[in-house]
Amino acid sequence: MSHASGAEGSDTVVYPELARANLLRMRGDYKAAEDQCLSILRRFPNNATANVLLGDICTEKGDLEQAMQWYEMALDLTPESQAAQHKLEQVRQRFKDKETVQTVEQLGLPTTKSRAGLYAISLIVAIFIIAVIAYALGFKHEEKAVMNDPAVIRARGTLDSGTSGQSDGGAPGTMIGAVREDDPLLKTIQGTGTEGARVVAAMEDPRTHALTVTYSVLEGEDARSLGATVAGQAFDTVPEAPLVTLRGVKQGHVAYVADAMRTRYEETLAQSWKTDHASNPNAWVDHVLLNEWPAQTNQTPVTPPVQPTPTTGGDQPPGDTTTTDSAASNKTAPAPAAAADKKSEDKTPSTDNTSPSKGEDSGQTTGGTSGPPGSEDQTTGATAGAAGDQ
């Protein structure tokens, strides 16, 4: 089952059967392919994909009238399908041309082959000249874009399959090569699911059966969700593929690259997994996709470094004595004014009985003030004597 939602819900059930029918058509087994599509329509009459595939089968068989009917039925079911509309217009034009040729042959009118051949040659030459001019202009434009942005990768290439490269800016990428062996795989994936038409290139590694799928991304679309859907369709188409490398191309440049693992994809199909992640419809996209470029990571805010704060007193770190020495010098060096005041106090007689006079021992003063009541005269006498000496 694929997570892609289509116009007809039965597509999610019959993807493998549609892929098998498309593969039988490409092999030229039109009868078996037609029977496979009719079997699908018996169970799902409104399956537009099966109607389109039947129209392709009738077109290749040459039954243009029947092909138009199948394409018209598909458009009745999905009127917005541009692919079905384009195929219907092509078949109608071929049918008209065929009727014209038959009419000319029945009437026996002469044909102007020489003039038609000249017209065809002139048209081919004109187309060739226009293609050369467009190629030259496009090449110069892409060279300029690469010089301005080294992360841009050209999606156009002429290298053989398997040749891979990396741009100067470090962006992963693989040059697209045209290999005939990859055509059946590409057409099978293109005819599968609702996003199959987005696939522009597909390659299978014969050693590991790993797939490399390139798909187109329109402006404003989510390349991740679209890539996960394409990976699911590729897994359903090639059951033995263990890995799908996705390359999303936008406006001729690689815009997204990721890997998808089958094991992780099959985990998202389990009912228990769907129940656990029912609140997040896009959880399966994050689970399936790996090694994404550009990287899908949240930027972690950088914490600015903490500036050291000056320390004073006991907070000063060991070994730094600058502040301590300065503080000590400020404490031990008395101010000149304070020294002068102290000298003046020593010369002025004190009227306080508790303050010792010059030359007296502090022990005498203490004794005079803290003696018994009867020693007051001694204290007074000592004070008067000191005053007389001065």
3-state SS string over 197-222? Answer: HHEEEEEECCCCCCEEEEEECCCCCC
pLDDT score at 105: 76
Instruction: Give the pLDDT confidence score for residue 103 in this predicted structure.
Output: 80
Q: Which two tokens stand for residue 342?
A: 């102290």
* pLDDT value at residue 342: 47
Q: Would you state the pLDDT for residue 112?
A: 52
Structure tokens belonging to residue 222: 């989510």
Q: How far apart are CA 194 and CA 53, in angstroms?
A: 13
Q: Output the pLDDT for position 115.
A: 63
Question: In this structure, what token pair is assigned to residue 375?
Answer: 């020693």
> What are the beta bridge partners of residue 164?
174
pTM beyond 0.85: the answer is no
The crossing angle, in degrees rounded to 10, of helices 64-77 and 82-107 is 160
Q: What is the DSSP annotation of 238-265?
A: -TT--EEEEEEEETTEEEEEEEEEHHHH
Where exactly are the structural domains of the chain?
1-110, 112-148, 164-293
Tell me how far the alpha carbon of residue 284 is from its chain's centroid.
Answer: 15
Could you tell me the sign of the dihedral formed by the alpha carbons of 123, 125, 129, 134, in that order? positive
pLDDT of residue 182: 82
Amino acid 387: pLDDT: 41
The pLDDT score that the predictor gives to residue 109 is 63
The architecture in CATH of the region 1-110 reads Alpha Horseshoe (1.25)
Pairing of strands 243-250, 253-261: antiparallel
Q: Give the other-Cβ count within 10 Å of 63's Cβ.
A: 16
Q: Are 169 and 151 in contact (CB under 8 A)?
A: yes
Q: pLDDT digit of tens for each residue in the chain (390 aa)?
A: 333 344 444 667 788 888 898 999 999 999 999 999 999 999 999 899 999 999 999 999 999 999 999 999 999 999 998 998 999 999 999 988 888 887 877 777 655 555 666 777 888 988 999 999 988 887 666 655 545 544 434 444 333 434 444 444 444 444 444 567 688 888 889 887 778 888 999 999 999 999 999 999 998 899 999 999 999 989 998 999 999 999 999 988 999 999 999 999 999 999 999 999 999 988 999 999 999 999 876 434 434 444 455 444 444 444 444 444 443 444 444 444 444 444 444 444 444 444 444 444 434 433 444 444 444 444 444 444 444 443
Res 288: pLDDT = 94
